[in-house]
Amino acid sequence: MNQLDNCRQRINILDIQIIEILGARFKVCRRIAHFKKEQGIPMMQPGRVEEVKQRCMELGLQYGLQKEFVAELYSLIIKESCRIEDEIIEKS
């Protein structure tokens, strides 16, 4: 295996880890949604959304990621989290 193949193999492993972490994150989102439903807490918490985005943008800078990239990435993650929560909270 040459150096390029080694790098590609490492990327494949990292991709698996990214998907596993996203799956774990959305599992926690489901738990949060059930809690919100039981407690009558509204699904959307705008302050929390901004807090998460800001925290992650700052963290991203420490790893050489552009703020705009992290903001877009977390917009997608938060959108999916909201979809999951909405689906659970709206179910009877």
Render pLDDT for 22-54 as a digit per residue (tens, 0 to 9): 999 999 999 999 999 999 999 888 899 999 999
pTM of the predicted model as reported, rounded to 2 decimal places? 0.88
Task: Output the six-digit token pair for 67.
Answer: 């703020």
pLDDT tens for 56-65 read 999 999 999 9
Domain span at 43: 3-90
Count the domains in the chain. 1
C-alpha–C-alpha distance, residues 76 and 70, integer Å: 10
Amino acid at 82: C
CB of 32 closer than 8 Å to CB of 39: no
> Element (H or E) spanning 39, and its range?
helix 3-39
Across the chain, what does the average pLDDT equal?
95
CATH number assigned to the domain comprising residue 58: 1.20.59.10
DSSP assignments along 22-36, one per residue: HHHHHHHHHHHHHHH
**pLDDT at 72 exceeding the cut of 60:** yes
